[in-house]
Structure 1
Amino acid sequence: MAGDSEDPNDETQYHLEVGPEDVADAVLLPGDPDRIGTITDRWTEATEVARHREYRTVTGRYEDVPISVCSTGIGSPSAAIAVEELARVGVETFIRVGSCGGIQPDVDVGDLVITSGAVRQEGTSEEYVRPDYPATASHEVIAALVAAAERLGHDYHVGVTMSADSFYAGQGRPGFEGFEAAGSADLIDDLREANVLNVEMEASAILTLANVYGLRAGAVCSVYADRTTGEFRTEGDDRAAETASLAVKLLARMDAAVADSDADRWHPGLSLE
């Protein structure tokens, strides 16, 4: 059996450089560190608590609710490190806030996609659990994201996401000098036929690790690319940011409703007000 981690720190995490007092129970996970300002602009207060490599962490409050955000960089390997180290300092809820490509005709640039489950085309999660283990979002997080999008009046879709390890070949795009990976020509059509809504690079690993560890997670992504028309615009980051932030507030209300009831977990019969 392998020995303990080589990390010499008792509490401060090696990559994120955060400890238990630095982060809230719920953390938003954008990939790009520059998206953090878009997220925290919606908060009532925000303080940067750590910055190391691709990981920038800010903690504050959304209205009256404690909340944190930590960038993960691009791809599932670095996102998994963020989930691992945040879980070790007590985080219980993770919401990916990112961008994606829409692959269904009714999923337009600027829309939001709320992930109910994910196709595990990335390899990181297979290092944790067998490949037929499902990457599913927490029903509570899905409900909170849907309620937030409805309250904010944003166009959104709920369904299955595909997470890849590659922006180019792994998402059916040509590589350098037109290189085409085996199967890439049919990839998007096959996913579309299976009613997959969007493609991105982190959700399935985040969802898988959260499930394995008994934590809750979800994802909301703004659509940058319409893979059915070729349209591309960096649009919708603000809508994803405010939807995820409001969802954390609604999750806090869900938890309070459970605590005030005889229920074991939140269900639609419990109020969010």
Structure 2
Amino acid sequence: MPGDSEDPNAEVQYHLEVGPEDVADSVLLPGNPERVEKIAGCWDDGEERAHHREYRTVTGSHEGTPISVTSTGIGSPSAAIAVEELARVGVDTLIRVGSCGSIREEASVGDLVITTGAVRQEGTSEEYVREDYPASADYEVVSALVAAAERLGYDYHTGITMSADSFYPGQGRPGFEGFSAAGSDDLVSDLREANVTNIEMEASAILTLASIYGLRAGAVCSVYANRETGEFRTEGELRAAETASLAVTLLARMDEVKREAGVDRWHAGLSV
């Protein structure tokens, strides 16, 4: 690489502007930089470590567990950059904390959806691996998110998420002046028939890259829109933040129990 070129493998990352000392092992990934401060408000403490473009990073602790949050901007391309650069500085656990549209009547506005796997309708992950490679959430992260939602008493659903590159036609909505993309009229009904729960724009890329790199990853989103009932409200953001933060603390406890038991993976015979 020419000497005057930016090096994406430098210790301080080019886009995020963080180094290994700036982030905890576990990082929450909201899209909106404005959510970072709200998420950190759930913690014991937090300090901003970097803010460059759409990427804002705060590191602190939650119930004594080190934790970080980095915003990714909208969509899978910028989320993949965050995963790449966080992996390079030593992060091993990633949890998307976002909003979504539900396509099931029972997943109401304000509820949480915890992703178990994702339909890869975004194009970013296809630049990494063949299209039939699964976008699977790590089962330890899913378990921790479910346990956190249960302890907090929040209504939640688990299921398959579809991640799109487009907010409008790519999610079955009309474009400018009513433009309709090929197949968009049947998109939501087809996904519903396949038992997909919700639609958003980043989860499948995050899960795919995490699997490729041997990292733990998951996603929890608050339902802003219910495509069955027509409801739309920006509700549940704090619930998703609190659930993901507590999940990081529970994962740290799970890891400690695993070490004491001398096992590599969490299983039903262990308890926190």
State the TM bucket, normalised to the shorter chain: over 0.9
Are residue 53 (structure 1) and residue 53 (structure 2) matched?
yes
Are residue 220 (structure 1) and residue 208 (structure 2) matched?
no
Match for residue 267 of structure 1?
Answer: 267
Q: Indicate the SS of the match to 1:208.
A: helix
Cα distance change on mapping 1:5 and 1:72 into 2, 3 Å = farther
Q: Alpha-carbon deviations, 1:105-143, whole Å to 9, x = none?
A: 111000000000000000000000000000000000000
Q: Indicate the SS of the match to 1:199.
A: strand
Match for residue 176 of structure 1?
Answer: 176
> For the residues of structure 2 that align with 1:7 and 1:155, how far apart are their CA atoms?
46
> For the residues of structure 1 that align with 2:171 and 2:203, how far apart are their CA atoms?
14
Are residue 80 (structure 1) and residue 80 (structure 2) matched?
yes
Write out the 4+ residue segments of structure 1 that deviate beyond 2 Å after TM superposition. Answer: 2-10
Cα distance change on mapping 1:169 and 1:93 into 2, 3 Å = same
Match for residue 245 of structure 1?
Answer: 245
Counterparts of 1:192-231 in structure 2, within 5 Å, are: 192-231=192-231
The residue identity in structure 2 corresponding to 1:28 is: L
- Structure 2: tracts of 5 or more residues without a match: none
The residue identity in structure 1 corresponding to 2:84 is: E
Q: Give the total of aligned pairs.
A: 271
Match for residue 113 of structure 2?
Answer: 113
Match for residue 126 of structure 1?
Answer: 126
Q: Percent of pairs identical after alignment?
A: 74
> For the residues of structure 2 that align with 1:129 and 1:46, how far apart are their CA atoms?
36
Match for residue 99 of structure 1?
Answer: 99
> For the residues of structure 1 that align with 2:47 and 2:180, how far apart are their CA atoms?
45
The residue identity in structure 1 corresponding to 2:231 is: E
> For the residues of structure 2 that align with 1:194 and 1:147, how far apart are their CA atoms?
26
TM-score (norm 2): 0.97
The residue identity in structure 2 corresponding to 1:253 is: R
Q: Indicate the SS of the match to 1:198.
A: strand
The residue identity in structure 2 corresponding to 1:197 is: T
> For the residues of structure 2 that align with 1:264 and 1:91, how far apart are their CA atoms?
18
> For the residues of structure 2 that align with 1:230 and 1:3, how far apart are their CA atoms?
54
> For the residues of structure 2 that align with 1:132 and 1:62, how far apart are their CA atoms?
37
RMSD (Å) for aligned C-alpha atoms = 1.4
The residue identity in structure 2 corresponding to 1:7 is: E
132-141 or 263-272: bigger deviation? 263-272
> For the residues of structure 1 that align with 2:271 and 2:241, how far apart are their CA atoms?
24
Match for residue 6 of structure 2?
Answer: 7
> For the residues of structure 2 that align with 1:12 and 1:193, how far apart are their CA atoms?
46
Q: Indicate the SS of the match to 2:145.
A: helix
> For the residues of structure 2 that align with 1:24 and 1:193, how far apart are their CA atoms?
40
Q: Alpha-carbon deviations, 1:222-262, whole Å to 9, x = none?
A: 00000001110000000000000000000000100010003
Match for residue 29 of structure 1?
Answer: 29
Are residue 148 (structure 1) and residue 148 (structure 2) matched?
yes
Q: Indicate the SS of the match to 1:21.
A: helix
TM-score (norm 1): 0.97
Cα distance change on mapping 1:4 and 1:148 into 2, 3 Å = farther
Q: Indicate the SS of the match to 1:228.
A: coil
> For the residues of structure 2 that align with 1:149 and 1:4, how far apart are their CA atoms?
49
The residue identity in structure 2 corresponding to 1:130 is: R
Q: Indicate the SS of the match to 2:149.
A: helix
Shift, 1:63, TM fit = 1.5
The residue identity in structure 2 corresponding to 1:29 is: L
